[in-house]
Amino acid sequence: MTDANRIVDGTAVVIEAGAGQEGGSREPGVEDLQVLSRLLAGLLLLGGDELMRRLQDLQRAIDANPDLLWRDQGPDQGKALDPVLDLVLGLYMRGQRRVVRGARRGVGSSLQAANWLLTKADRWTDNRLARPFRRRVAARLGQAEKEVKRIRWEGRLERQQSRLLATATVSQMIDDLMAYISDDPEFNRVIQEQFGRQSKGVASVFVDNARTMTVATDNLAERVLRRLLRLTPRPALPQSPFEGKPQTMYALDPESQARGYDEP
Amino acid sequence: MNHEPAPRRTLYGQYAGFTTRMVAFVLDRLIVIGLLAVLVPAWRFVEDSFSLDLFTEVVGLSLVGAVPLVFESLYNIGFWLVAGQTPGKRIMGVRVIRADGRRVGLRNAIVRYWAYWISTFLFLGFLWILVDGRRRGWHDKLAGTVVIYSWPEVDLSARPRVDRAWLQRLTGRE
């Protein structure tokens, strides 16, 4: 039995990695869709976890040092509508707390009531007349319970797979990007030019920067798309027979003909 | 032993990539929209000032309706013919030439402009630039043109390095 399989209430629940494939057949379209859904779910889970972690850290910092609250009064303090805003926000937060508390209490009471009802029903139906019907209902309920457990287990598996997939993908993408940044001559040249540039007009510097950045992005975009389409990556810029040759076919003045290129 | 230096690669004359071309494309659209924003009210002003008769007004209004398309086609075809590059392409330092290296002819320019509309379908014709061996979109293939970088040489053999360890520290991935 694989790690993915578990015994749920004495019944072996066999779920292979990639749960949800019915009949064991692998359909490429469905499989791709499921992998993408897992990736999306994983990204949401990871992002949500990270956001909650940061928010909770911040809240703990504020709780530990309440002076932080009054350090920045904000630009909209002292306006006429402030008391109304404070009142609305206070009411909203208090209402939220009450709703959560009430919901918790409601769920507890409902469970108690259901328990009481089931105990009573159990006592009333424990007779010769109702017993066959009771057995059938019990069997159905047992099946439903097993099904619910199975679905929950599938969900748990999917959650783990999604997290794993998202972590691996994000990590790989960052590695790729870093490798690209550190290896790509264009990107390196951009960085060098940012530090080495002197005595040029603002517009010309801006245009130069824009051109350099887009050239670097040209290669990056191609690399990403080729990876997605599982094409072999281009080792370098595509070879052009016009490389380095002056483009004098459009030159109108002798100076640009001699220069052979367009200045920004 | 004779150590010959590696051949020097330059960007100048290389096939231009997707992002640069898309930025140039967007710049051209913005320029066209800007010019139309001046031209259309100017025509309306002429109409109002000279109290044109009904026939002239009808002709004028149809012209105003067709102006964006006509103006855009003239803008693109004209600039490709005269300079091999529209203002947007000039800013981004790219140029359109024929696949054999000659300047764009009238037929190439007209086909290229109208093939833009085919490429615009689902944007696939433009995305083709990303996978094509010579970075040609559908409109380039149909018109027999290529787009190349036309700005000063870039020495690709000089490869200053970014310190990978520094990058890793920066991104907290030690």
pLDDT of residue A238: 67
User: Using one digit for the tens of pLDDT, what is the confidence trace for A82-101?
Assistant: 788 888 889 989 989 999 99
User: Using one digit for the tens of pLDDT, what is the confidence trace for A186-224?
Assistant: 666 666 666 555 445 566 777 877 888 888 888 888 888
pLDDT band for position B12 (cuts 50, 70, 90): confident
Compute the nearest-CA separation of A36 from chain B (Å): 22
Compute the nearest-CA separation of A40 from chain B (Å): 23
Q: Does A229 touch chain B (CB under 8 A)?
A: yes
This model of the complex carries an ipTM of 0.73
- A80-to-A75, A85, A117 alpha-carbon distances in Å: 13, 10, 56
* Better-predicted residue by pLDDT, A16 or A238: A238
Checking if the pLDDT of B165 tops 70, the result is no
Give the chain A residue nearest B87 (alpha carbons). A264
- pTM value is 0.48
- Decide if B171 and A178 are in contact by the 8 Å CB cutoff: yes
User: Using one digit for the tens of pLDDT, what is the confidence trace for B106-163?
Assistant: 999 999 999 998 988 778 889 889 888 889 999 999 999 999 998 865 554 444 455 5
Give the pLDDT mean for A108-136. 86
Residue in A188, A214, A222 nearest the CB of B161: A188
- Decide if B173 and A174 are in contact by the 8 Å CB cutoff: yes
Q: Does B148 touch chain A (CB under 8 A)?
A: yes
Q: Which of A46-50, A55-59, A228-232 shows the lowest mean pLDDT across its residues?
A: A228-232
Q: Does A237 touch chain B (CB under 8 A)?
A: yes
Give the pLDDT mean for A18-38. 64
* Better-predicted residue by pLDDT, B131 or B172: B131
pLDDT band for position A225 (cuts 50, 70, 90): confident
Q: Are B120 and B25 in contact (CB under 8 A)?
A: no
Checking if the pLDDT of B71 tops 70, the result is yes
Q: Are B121 and A152 in contact (CB under 8 A)?
A: no
In one-letter notation, the amino acid at residue A189 is: R
Residues A175/A177/A179/A185 CA torsion (nearest 10 deg): 180
Encoded tokens for A53? 């972690």
